[in-house]
Amino acid sequence: MFLRCRKRPFADGMCRRHAVEEADRLFSLYIRRRDGRCTACGSTRDLQCSHHISRARVWTRWDVRNATTHCARCHYRFTRDPAAHHDAIMCLIGTRGWSNLMNRAYGPIVQGRRMPPGPLRGSDLEAVLARLRRMSALQEVAT
Subset of 53-92 contacting Zn ion (CB under 5 A): 71, 74
Q: Which residue's CB is nearer to Zn ion, number 1 or number 141? A: 1
The C-alpha angle with vertex 32 and arms to 123 and 61, in degrees rounded to 5, equals: 30
The contacts of residue 31 (CB under 8 Å, 6+ apart) are 49, 64, 67, 68, 69
Instruction: Report, in Å, the least distance between residue 121 CB and Zn ion.
Output: 17
Q: Contact region for Zn ion (CB under 5 A) — 6-14, 24-32, 55-63, 85-93?
A: 6-14
Q: Which residue's CB is nearer to Zn ion, number 77 or number 131? A: 77
**26 forms part of the interface with Zn ion (CB under 5 A):** no
* Residue choice 24, 33, 35, 43 for contact with Zn ion (CB under 5 A): 43
Phi, psi at 86, each rounded to 5°: -65, -40
**38 forms part of the interface with Zn ion (CB under 5 A):** yes
Q: Which residue's CB is nearer to Zn ion, number 71 or number 132? A: 71
- Of 51, 103, 46, the C-alpha closest to 79 is 51
The contacts of residue 100 (CB under 8 Å, 6+ apart) are 65
Other CB atoms within 10 A of residue 64 CB: 13
Q: Which residue's CB is nearer to Zn ion, number 41 or number 137? A: 41
- What residue ranges bind Zn ion (CB under 5 A)? 5, 7, 15, 18, 38, 40-41, 43, 71, 74
